[in-house]
């Protein structure tokens, strides 16, 4: 449409004559490329999230298929559907798939699709990172499943307990496929945490202050923080075990001073919060669906936020309740038993708030609500058996029986799948513009609900009479064969239900009846976008004044479709988001984000080759792949800025805002903060591992190792003062416009880091010796290596920042990258001092 | 006015962080007592470690109470200010309420977690 052509479809009081032109420009700027290339390079949140969701459901089907074989094997005593080893492989892959390749990513996919729309944003603040996360997830999952092709399927359970998973008892490559594949796929979860935290904190629509955020967004914010603190222990555990398997370190080997329980602590430090990492987003979905179908605002909004935040904290105090039978002193068990029961309080608060909303409203029983009712029934049962399991004596009685299998499925299927399907049907008209088949979707619900309960309710009984879990058969004398046959038959009914639902959803996109916009008459912002959803979501960034803007001010829908509001004009043909204040939601900055690019898929593919080289012991290939990988990431970082970008832009008549390179709350800054939280959690887990091993070791340092003498230790520490000075004085020089001095400080920091490494590592080698000798040497070298990697990364960032200053990307006004470099150096020096104290002071005292 | 500005996300989450600190500390102290025989001597009928954990519980509860008291002060200042009805005002009140409720649930959590100390020996 030419600029002169007036658009009469949406009359506006403002600059409506250019509306069509502006829309066309937005379409062009935000469009994915054409064809397969366009699909592979797309970074837009709607496109990427749909891929995540589809991939998640594909893994659900595969994981479900494995469980059907397991149920067939258990249908009657003595069957030979799967031999014991194959059964163990299927148990492992089923659990791993459902937890790591379905439950966590699919909720991440939902968040990626919904959060920007709910908060009135056009995209997530790091689109390339989202796309990179997706490819890591896909390649990680394929990596794991390629173990079937190579005949090395992991078979030690989805929890990979040591010593069963070490090289003595699992000599093949199965455990390596698990450790590497899962860690690769977990990059997606960590990336989604960075995305969601930054998006929610700084890209909410103007007016959407903290008390107006949709509850799903609150849930995702808490979940993202939980991922940031919860995933690193597992990542660390996986790295430690893989190092032990590949290079013969000794973290978990008793004969060399290690402890297999260290694995369980690290695993369940992740594993229990993981349950809530899955449940909280689902609870967010329930809050959205309940208020829409009760046709009233949520009762006790503040209480639900309280419950979400409280659950986020309390869930980290439960990990030992998975270890009640490993021989930990009773008092410690009692602490965890008490905390396990305590977490029922915030969960109960949420359930009562949902019931109160339904009670106070006029509930409308459509398919999404049907799933919510299923959720209430199933999840409350799962929660109650959870409280039973929190009692230590009862836990001992049913430990490792099918009672636990029943409980965890009631919690996970009740707490995840029913809300997930509720959300799927709830937002399907938004994503597809069509309505699903009412009869097929109701049939799917009843098949899943009845099938699930008939499959898992009997397992409470079979477990209580002593049927062990993870075992491929049971004795006829146990008297549970009929119950197992019922479970198997019902399991297939449930499977048919799940397939029916997925067929229904797929058909909806092609054959569904054309729906009206906002068919459920919901009140939140995601329903303001047009159908079909444009890639830019909103033509103008909306301004809101309540929690349910579509109920309280229906005008907001039209306002978001006009182009005379905030950011209605695409400056310089760049994709732009509006940045707002963390608490207040006031406009603060313009965030320019990336367009379609090959970088994410190339980076993920390079990592896949690197890991393939590692698992096949072709270490030369892994080292070789570091070159293109670092090159890709440097190119990625280099293309983040624009030296020709103006320092500020006009986002609406009379409102000028800085671009992110010059803004205080820039997304890059928050990405760094969240990344350092994640990294700090990783570091804290490693320090915990050190002290845990010390606690159980008779001698520390180990026989044959010594502590470095005072003089070399202090001399090695001294050069770290240089980066610290540079991190302080470099930004000062930059702010004063002294660019050459700022560059010089970056160089000083790099030199300081290099000198530290050159002095510290050789002296450490002389004192401690080879890491394979004892768990002491293993953990000391891992700590020192962890810090050394940080020094190298900081040196890279320092050199990069110096180049950016030299090339005019960074200056006295656009200081973001200098701030990031300084903060990273401060953090690196900080963990360096802690590492130094742990390595050189603690052994003298202990 | 500075008192009104004192309500941050960090302050809002402080009571939960104190609960976490208490949990981590008593679990670690208990581990040290059992594995390294730290503080196992008896004083006035209880092991020194048990006294330490009770003391820590009291300190943490006091810290949570202080957070709640500060939040209460901010709440009183907000209610007394002339800005009622403004978005900023309502937002701060929301965060204060969250902080107060969080303090209540965290205090409950600390008491609940510490209660086994009254029933079990350090290394039972």
CB contact under 8 A, A334 and B87: no
Least confident of A415-429, A452-466, A695-709: A695-709
Of B91, B109, B120, the CB nearest to A331: B120
CB contact under 8 A, B94 and A696: no
Distance CA A767, CA A702 (A): 11
Give residue B64's pLDDT: 97
Distance CA A822, CA A804 (A): 14
pLDDT (mean) for A279-297: 96
For residue A332, the distance in angstroms to the closest alpha carbon of chain B comes to 6
What is A697-844's CATH topology?
1.20.120
Here the tokens at position B88 are 């900023």
For residue B8, the distance in angstroms to the closest alpha carbon of chain A comes to 8
CB contact under 8 A, A306 and B31: no
For residue B86, the distance in angstroms to the closest alpha carbon of chain A comes to 11
Could you tell me which chain B residue has the CA closest to the CA of A336?
A: B113
Give residue A14's pLDDT: 47
pLDDT (mean) for A606-621: 96
Give residue A651's pLDDT: 87
CB contact under 8 A, B35 and A303: no
Among A323, A335, A393, which would you mutate to test the B interface (most chain B Cβ atoms within 10 Å of its Cβ)? A335
Query: What is the Cα A805 distance to its own chain's centre?
Result: 34
Which residues in chain B touch residue A334, judged by CB atoms under 8 angstroms apart? 116, 119-120
- β-pair partners for A435: A513
pLDDT (mean) for A230-237: 96
Here the tokens at position A196 are 């969601």
Which residues in chain A touch residue B90, judged by CB atoms under 8 angstroms apart? 211
Looking at every residue in chain A, the average pLDDT score rounds to 93
| A contact residues 363-402, partner B, Cβ 8 Å cutoff | none
Q: What is the pLDDT of residues A642-701, one digit of tens each?
A: 888 888 888 888 889 999 988 889 999 999 999 999 999 999 999 999 999 999 888 889
Q: What is the pLDDT of residues A772-793, one digit of tens each?
A: 999 999 999 999 999 999 999 9
- Looking at per-residue pLDDT, the higher value among A525 and A321 belongs to A525
Least confident of A71-75, A649-653, A723-727, B98-102: A649-653
CB contact under 8 A, A317 and B90: no
Single out the residue of A809, A804, A802, A806 nearest to residue A643, CA to CA: A809
Which residues in chain B touch residue A230, judged by CB atoms under 8 angstroms apart? none
Chain B within 8 Å of A582 (Cβ-Cβ)? Answer: yes
pLDDT band of A415, cuts 50, 70, 90: very high
Distance CA A225, CA A382 (A): 25
pLDDT (mean) for A560-588: 90
Q: What is the pLDDT of residues A364-375, one digit of tens each?
A: 999 999 999 999
Distance CA A753, CA A751 (A): 5
For residue A120, the distance in angstroms to the closest alpha carbon of chain B comes to 18
For residue B109, the distance in angstroms to the closest alpha carbon of chain A comes to 6
Chain B within 8 Å of A583 (Cβ-Cβ)? Answer: yes
Chain B within 8 Å of A665 (Cβ-Cβ)? Answer: no
Could you tell me which chain B residue has the CA closest to the CA of A344?
A: B109
- Checking if the pLDDT of A736 tops 50, the result is yes
pLDDT (mean) for B33-44: 91
CB contact under 8 A, B113 and A695: no
Give residue A7's pLDDT: 39
For residue A282, the distance in angstroms to the closest alpha carbon of chain B comes to 22
- Checking if the pLDDT of A8 tops 50, the result is no
Query: At A386, which helix (H) or strand (E)?
Result: helix A367-390
Which residues in chain B touch residue A842, judged by CB atoms under 8 angstroms apart? none
Give residue A587's pLDDT: 94
- Checking if the pLDDT of B5 tops 80, the result is no
Give residue A821's pLDDT: 96
pLDDT band of A17, cuts 50, 70, 90: low
Q: What is the pLDDT of residues A140-172, one digit of tens each?
A: 999 999 999 999 999 999 999 999 999 999 999
Of A305, A330, A346, the CB nearest to B124: A330
Of A210, A303, A342, the CB nearest to B95: A210
Could you state, in order of their start, the residue ranges of all structural domains in chain A?
365-522, 697-844
Least confident of A635-639, A640-644, A670-674, A842-846: A640-644
Alpha carbons within 13 angstroms on the beta-carbon side of residue A588 total 21
Q: What is the pLDDT of residues A808-836, one digit of tens each?
A: 999 998 999 999 999 999 999 999 999 99
- Checking if the pLDDT of B3 tops 80, the result is no
- Checking if the pLDDT of A236 tops 50, the result is yes
Among A226, A311, A313, which would you mutate to test the B interface (most chain B Cβ atoms within 10 Å of its Cβ)? A313
CB contact under 8 A, B105 and A345: yes
* Residue A735: φ, ψ to 5°: -60, -30
pLDDT band of A399, cuts 50, 70, 90: very high
The set of long-range contacts for A160-166, using a CB threshold of 8 Å and a minimum separation of 24, is: A160/A241, A160/A263, A160/A267, A161/A260, A161/A263, A161/A264, A161/A267, A162/A241, A162/A252, A162/A260, A162/A262, A162/A263, A163/A252, A163/A253, A163/A254, A163/A260, A165/A241, A165/A263, A166/A241, A166/A244, A166/A245, A166/A252, A166/A253
Give residue B6's pLDDT: 67
CB contact under 8 A, A313 and B19: yes
For residue B71, the distance in angstroms to the closest alpha carbon of chain A comes to 15
Single out the residue of A422, A423, A435, A438 nearest to residue A510, CA to CA: A435
CB contact under 8 A, A309 and B23: no
Of A207, A314, A335, the CB nearest to B116: A335
Chain B within 8 Å of A326 (Cβ-Cβ)? Answer: no
Of A338, A346, A695, the CB nearest to B115: A338
Of A209, A317, A329, the CB nearest to B91: A209
CB contact under 8 A, A306 and B105: yes
CB contact under 8 A, B105 and A305: no
Q: Is there a contact between A636 and A603 (Cβ–Cβ < 8 Å)?
A: yes
Which residues in chain B touch residue A582, judged by CB atoms under 8 angstroms apart? 9
Q: Which residues of B touch A (CB under 8 A)?
A: 8-9, 12-13, 16-17, 19-20, 23, 26-27, 30-32, 34-36, 87-88, 90-91, 94-95, 97-98, 101-102, 105-106, 108-109, 112-113, 115-117, 119-124
User: What is the 3 state secondary structure string of A586-646?
Assistant: CEEEEEEECCCCCHHHHHHHHHHHHHHHHHCCCHHHHHHHHHHHHHHHHHHHHCCCCCCCC
CB contact under 8 A, A695 and B121: no
CB contact under 8 A, A334 and B116: yes
pLDDT band of A570, cuts 50, 70, 90: confident
CB contact under 8 A, B113 and A335: yes
Q: Is there a contact between B16 and B106 (Cβ–Cβ < 8 Å)?
A: yes
């Amino acid at each position: 449409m030419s600029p002169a052509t007036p658009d009469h479809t949406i009359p506006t009081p403002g600059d409506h004559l250019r509306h069509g032109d502006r829309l066309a420009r937005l379409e062009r700027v935000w469009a994915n490329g054409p064809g397969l290339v366009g699909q592979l390079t797309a970074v837009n949140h709607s496109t990427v999230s749909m891929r995540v969701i589809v991939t998640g459901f594909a893994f659900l089907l595969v994981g479900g298929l494995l469980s059907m074989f397991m149920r067939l094997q258990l249908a009657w005593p003595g069957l030979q559907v799967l031999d014991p080893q194959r059964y163990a492989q299927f148990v492992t892959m089923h659990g791993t798939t459902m937890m790591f390749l379905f439950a966590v990513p699919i909720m991440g996919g939902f968040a990626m699709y919904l959060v920007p729309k709910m908060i009135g944003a056009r995209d997530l603040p790091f689109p390339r990172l989202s796309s990179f996360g997706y490819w890591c997830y896909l390649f990680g999952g394929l990596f794991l499943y390629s173990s079937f092709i190579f005949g090395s399927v992991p078979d030690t359970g989805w929890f990979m307990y040591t010593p069963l998973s070490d090289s003595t008892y699992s000599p093949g490559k199965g455990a390596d496929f698990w450790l590497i594949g899962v860690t690769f796929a977990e990059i997606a979860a960590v990336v989604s945490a960075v995305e969601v935290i930054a998006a929610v904190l700084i890209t909410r629509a103007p007016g959407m202050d903290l008390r107006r955020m949709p509850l799903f967004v609150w849930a995702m914010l808490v979940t993202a923080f939980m991922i940031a603190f919860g995933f690193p222990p597992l990542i660390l555990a996986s790295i430690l075990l893989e190092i032990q398997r590949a290079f013969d370190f000794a973290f978990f080997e008793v004969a060399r001073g290690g402890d297999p329980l260290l694995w369980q602590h690290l695993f369940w430090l992740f594993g229990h919060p993981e349950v809530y990492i899955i449940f909280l987003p689902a609870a967010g979905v329930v809050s959205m669906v309940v208020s829409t179908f009760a046709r009233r605002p949520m009762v006790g909004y503040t209480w639900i936020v309280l419950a979400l935040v409280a659950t986020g904290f309390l869930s980290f105090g439960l990990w030992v309740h998975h270890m009640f039978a490993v021989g930990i002193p009773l008092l410690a068990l009692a602490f965890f038993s008490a905390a396990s029961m305590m977490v029922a309080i915030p969960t109960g608060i949420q359930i009562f708030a949902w019931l109160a909303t339904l009670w106070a409203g006029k509930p409308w029983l459509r398919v999404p609500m049907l799933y919510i009712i299923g959720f209430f029934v199933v999840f409350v049962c799962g929660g109650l058996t959870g409280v039973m399991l929190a009692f230590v004596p009862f836990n001992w009685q049913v430990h490792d029986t099918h009672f636990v299998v029943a409980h965890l499925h009631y919690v996970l299927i009740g707490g995840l799948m029913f809300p997930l399907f509720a959300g799927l049907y709830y937002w399907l008209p938004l994503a597809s513009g069509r309505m699903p088949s009412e009869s097929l979707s109701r049939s799917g619900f009843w098949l899943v609900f009845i099938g699930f309960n008939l499959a898992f309710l009997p397992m409470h009984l079979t477990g209580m009479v002593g049927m062990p879990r993870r075992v491929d058969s049971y004795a006829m004398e146990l008297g549970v064969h009929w119950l197992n046959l019922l479970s198997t038959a019902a399991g297939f009914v449930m499977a048919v239900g799940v397939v029916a639902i997925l067929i229904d959803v797929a058909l909806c996109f092609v054959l569904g009846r054309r729906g009206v916009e906002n068919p459920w008459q919901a009140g939140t912002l995601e329903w303001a976008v047009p159908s079909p959803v444009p890639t830019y979501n909103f033509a103008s960034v909306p301004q809101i004044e309540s929690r349910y803007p579509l109920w309280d001010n229906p005008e907001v829908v039209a306002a978001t479709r006009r182009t005379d509001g905030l950011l209605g004009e695409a400056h310089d043909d760049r994709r732009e988001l509006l940045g707002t204040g963390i608490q207040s939601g006031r406009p603060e900055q313009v965030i320019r984000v990336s367009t379609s690019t090959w970088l994410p898929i190339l980076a993920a593919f390079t990592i896949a080759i690197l890991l393939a080289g590692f698992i096949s012991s072709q270490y030369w290939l892994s080292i070789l792949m570091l070159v293109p990988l670092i090159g890709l990431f440097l190119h990625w970082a280099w293309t983040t800025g624009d030296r020709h970008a103006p320092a500020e832009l006009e986002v609406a008549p009379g409102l000028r805002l800085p671009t992110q390179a010059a803004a205080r709350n820039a997304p890059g800054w928050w990405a760094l903060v969240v990344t350092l939280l994640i990294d700090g959690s990783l570091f804290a887990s490693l320090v915990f591992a050190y002290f845990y091993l010390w606690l159980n070791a008779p001698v520390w340092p180990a026989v044959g190792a010594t502590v470095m003498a005072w003089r070399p230790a202090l001399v090695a520490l001294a050069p770290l003062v240089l980066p610290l000075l540079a991190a302080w004085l470099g930004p000062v020089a930059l702010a004063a416009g002294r660019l050459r001095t700022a560059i010089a400080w970056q160089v000083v920091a790099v030199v300081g880091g290099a000198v530290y490494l050159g002095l510290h590592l050789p002296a450490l080698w002389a004192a401690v010796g080879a890491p394979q000798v004892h768990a002491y040497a293993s953990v000391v070298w891992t700590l020192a290596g962890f810090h050394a990697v940080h020094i190298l990364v900081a040196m890279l960032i320092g050199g990069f920042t110096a180049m950016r200053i030299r090339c005019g990307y960074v200056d006295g006004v656009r200081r973001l990258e200098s701030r990031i470099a300084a903060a990273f150096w401060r953090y690196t020096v900080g963990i360096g001092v802690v590492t130094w104290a742990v390595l050189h002071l603690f052994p003298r005292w202990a | 006015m500075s008192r009104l500005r004192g309500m941050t996300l960090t302050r809002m989450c402080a009571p939960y962080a104190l609960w976490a600190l208490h949990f981590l500390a008593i679990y670690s102290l208990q581990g040290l007592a059992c594995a390294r025989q730290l503080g196992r001597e008896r004083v006035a009928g209880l092991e020194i470690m048990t006294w330490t954990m009770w003391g820590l519980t009291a300190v943490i509860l006091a810290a949570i109470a202080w957070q709640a008291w500060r939040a209460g002060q901010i709440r009183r200042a907000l209610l007394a200010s002339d800005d009622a009805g403004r978005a900023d005002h309502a937002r701060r009140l929301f965060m204060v309420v969250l902080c107060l409720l969080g303090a209540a649930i965290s205090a409950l959590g600390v008491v609940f977690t510490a209660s086994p100390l009254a029933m079990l020996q350090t290394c039972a």
